[in-house]
Amino acid sequence: MPKNNEHIPYIEGESAEQDIILDAERSRQIGAKVLATIHYEDKNRNPIVASSYEKARKNKEKFPDGSSAEQRNLAHLRRLDRMIEKGGSKLEKRIWQESIKNIDLVQTENITESTWRSLQRENRNRGGGDIELTPQLKEMAAQQYRDVQLGELEDIANYLSAEECPYPRWYKIYVWNGLTSLSRKTKNTENSFPVLQKRDKTTTAGFPKLSPAAIAKVYDDITSYYDIATDAKEAAESTDETDGTVEKLVKNGSFAKLYSYELSRLTKSVEVPEKTEDVHGEWIEYDLNRINDLTEAAEGTPWCIVSPTVAKNYLEYGTFSHEENDDLDDDWDDDWDRDWNDDDWSDEEDEDKNSSIGTIKETRGRFVLFHLTDPNTGLPSKSACASIRIDPGGNVAEISGICGDSDQRLNDSLVPIVKEKAMQYPGGERMMQAFLDNEEIIHLDEKSKKGEPLTADEINFIFENNRKIETLNPYGYDPRIKELRDVPTLLANGVDANILTQNLPPSSISPNIDRLLNAGADINDLVPKIEKPEDVASNINRLLSAGAKIEDLVSILKKNKDVRYYDTPQETDILLSIGADIDLIVSNLNPFRITDNLEFLLNKGATIDIDNIVSEMPNGAFYNNLDSILDAGVSTDVIMPKLDRWDIVKHCEKLLAKGLKPDDLLSKLDSPFIADQLDNLLAAGIEVGVLIRHLAPIDVLHKRKELLAAGASEKLIDSIIYKD
């Protein structure tokens, strides 16, 4: 790797291994540059990136030469890596789940008239005739769109947060931001391939297809451009078009075009016979000496080993890469852990940390792939259809197929063949339960298609009432599990409503209350399984008409105090209408829900100790509702330690009006931040003379013009700048 690469700085002490696998800091530096091409640090004025950079400056971290955007992203990536190294895979999964909440799903009022007309036309074409789209029907349709979009977001988050996902975190962020900003729909452009369209608030279409193979190809494109992986570079040079399409797309920074381009080039997967007895083929083993053969065998599959870099790293290290062991810092007191308390962490998390990536092994891994026999030649097909990954210790680590896209399921006909082969290797026996569960899912799916009712034991199995279903899929569940859990189908297939009610988990009771009651479920069995007050609120009339007792419904308020109840004030109104006490409701609310609906609850007569509520909340959690909290009379002694810098600046005027002294307020801010927010602080009424007292000489020098314009004297300014 050249020392004077134009894109990335040379890091002294690189070993031969690091020419193939980037050390963590070098990888982050690349990631910071890539994220700067999509303006990640500016997206919605990303407060987490901003606070990471401020923290790094305060700790006097060193940064390589580069733009401010790159340095901000690098500070964020360093901090994120430290936190996840400390919190383990459990924390990373929670971060990705929280990221889902930041993506806007389509709302009823934003759906266009042309979409509604299209729905009406589709209904006529299906023989349903003309329908009037009432507000209720529109909301139902919008909810269906949202359900699809949410499911796709969860698929993307599950893939990126899986321990098996073989990419550095900066690339996961890049992929997430790219996929969640795009629609599944494409349009023809000046390019030679259709490009995925950008999403907006009116988009009802789903998110783009999650293709691990295309994601791997994009990673190779980027790493090739930045000269950070020899194998990736050689692969890209051998497959890129003569006009340099890949290099142009990487330079452009458009994930949409780059991902669309790689999707358009994917090879079609091989056809796998439906019956096991019709499957003929052979197992072929690949090691470090057969990297090119391995990546060719992955063409047409959803496997990430289509990337030479990923394939080689799996074979050499048993994981994507090794990472440095940074000294852990105290990052648990701000943005990322707002909702996470110490008691959220269990022994399970310690196991996650102990098993995190970071160990380089002397031995090497292998891939054992199953190739179907080509009926025309009698030879193994070029592309494989099943994979057994053997880790560097010689144990079975992962099994993949080509039936699914992101989940990489085995085709049903291949399950017995792969099971027999896996049991021949150490560690294969650990997969036995997953094989048995997979076979049970196949059996239940066949029963369901025939319209046969499932037994109580089978219902317990599919809803995981006694234990979790073991899966062969490295990136998710078998989608047939969700289909088997469909309550309308179970009832239509003859399952008794009372048996179903007794065996369904509460999460499946709530959306099917009316359906179960109509099928004859006993109200006395059903009500105890309702856990969330909002489910009582949305089904109140049906429950009362079925004979539910008011006191039983109100008692549901006392359950699970940590659950965030009441997403809308309307639900609280309904609960009040059936006799619930407002203070009982408040006692069951999470502090976030109290502060989110503070004015409403106070107007209903709730007794709220705002100082106590605020003291229970994490730091920096008041950006959107601080006005109402201050109006409710919270003590400045309680609120000030909880505020971050942006909170203080945004609400500076109101904090001063509550009696907080300017010097006390400014003491919470450092000089560079005060200089950056000078105009806002002056507008809030803080005198320029007070501000100058809190500025370092270098910041006074940089802001000399603005300070003079605000009324500061040249003598005062110069006395600070030239102070000995």
For residue 333, the model assigns a pLDDT of 42
For residue 128, the model assigns a pLDDT of 65
Tokens 């790219």 appear where? 178
The top-scoring range by mean pLDDT among 112-126, 351-365, 468-482, 687-701 is: 687-701
For residue 723, the model assigns a pLDDT of 66
- As a whole number of angstroms, the distance between CA 635 and CA 644 comes to 16
Residue 347 reports pLDDT greater than 60: no
Residue 231 reports pLDDT greater than 90: no
- As a whole number of angstroms, the distance between CA 532 and CA 89 comes to 29
Give the residue ranges of DSSP H helices in 210-363: 212-225, 230-239, 245-252, 255-264, 291-297, 308-317, 347-354
- As a whole number of angstroms, the distance between CA 3 and CA 226 comes to 12
Grade residue 223 by pLDDT with cuts at 50, 70 and 90: confident
Grade residue 91 by pLDDT with cuts at 50, 70 and 90: confident
For residue 406, the model assigns a pLDDT of 65
- As a whole number of angstroms, the distance between CA 709 and CA 220 comes to 53
Residue 28 reports pLDDT greater than 60: yes
**230 vs 584, which has greater pLDDT?**
584
Residue 52 reports pLDDT greater than 90: no
- As a whole number of angstroms, the distance between CA 196 and CA 189 comes to 10
Q: Where are the beta strands (DSSP E) in 461-584?
A: none
Specify the long-range contacts of residues 655-660, CB closer than 8 Å, at least 24 apart: 655/630, 656/684, 656/685, 656/686, 658/630, 660/636
For residue 718, the model assigns a pLDDT of 81
Nearest to 35 by CA among 86, 89, 1, 80: 80
**For range 192-204, the mean pLDDT:** 89
- As a whole number of angstroms, the distance between CA 334 and CA 618 comes to 8
**For range 345-372, the mean pLDDT:** 56
DSSP 319-361: SS-----PPP---TTSGGGTT--GGG--HHHHHHHHTSS----
**For range 205-221, the mean pLDDT:** 88
Tokens 């203070």 appear where? 583
User: pLDDT (tens digit, 9 = 90+) per residue, 270-279?
Assistant: 889 999 999 9
For residue 422, the model assigns a pLDDT of 95
Q: Are 431 and 398 in contact (CB under 8 A)?
A: no
Q: Picking from 94-103, 128-137, 188-197, 335-344, which range would have the lowest pLDDT averaged per residue? A: 335-344
**For range 571-591, the mean pLDDT:** 70
User: pLDDT (tens digit, 9 = 90+) per residue, 453-489?
Assistant: 999 999 999 999 889 999 887 776 788 898 999 999 9
Q: Are 153 and 207 in contact (CB under 8 A)?
A: yes
Residue 403 reports pLDDT greater than 60: yes
Please give the structure tokens belonging to residue 554.
């109100």
For residue 457, the model assigns a pLDDT of 93
H or E stretch covering 571: helix 569-577
Q: Are 481 and 462 in contact (CB under 8 A)?
A: yes
- As a whole number of angstroms, the distance between CA 274 and CA 665 comes to 70
For residue 415, the model assigns a pLDDT of 94
Q: Are 617 and 623 in contact (CB under 8 A)?
A: no
Which pairing describes strands 182-187 and 195-198: parallel, antiparallel, or unpaired?
antiparallel
Q: Picking from 19-33, 426-440, 543-557, 599-613, which range would have the lowest pLDDT averaged per residue? A: 19-33
For residue 1, the model assigns a pLDDT of 34
**CA atoms within 13 Å, Cβ hemisphere of 16:** 0
3-state class (DSSP) for residue 304: helix
Q: Are 519 and 509 in contact (CB under 8 A)?
A: no
3-state class (DSSP) for residue 387: strand
- As a whole number of angstroms, the distance between CA 676 and CA 708 comes to 16
Please give the structure tokens belonging to residue 474.
């490295």
3-state class (DSSP) for residue 629: helix
In the chain, count H helices and then E strands. Answer: 41, 6
Q: Picking from 34-48, 310-324, 532-546, which range would have the lowest pLDDT averaged per residue? A: 310-324
Dihedral over alpha carbons 681, 687, 691, 693 (to 10 degrees): -170
Please give the structure tokens belonging to residue 104.
């806007």
- As a whole number of angstroms, the distance between CA 556 and CA 558 comes to 5
User: pLDDT (tens digit, 9 = 90+) per residue, 619-672?
Assistant: 766 656 788 888 888 888 888 888 878 888 888 888 888 888 898 889 888 888
The CB density around residue 309, as the number of other CB atoms within 10 Å, is 30
pTM of structure:
0.57
Residue-range domain boundaries for the chain: 17-264, 268-321+360-409, 427-529, 551-606
Residue 683 vs residues 644, 650, 686: alpha-carbon distances, Å:
19, 11, 7
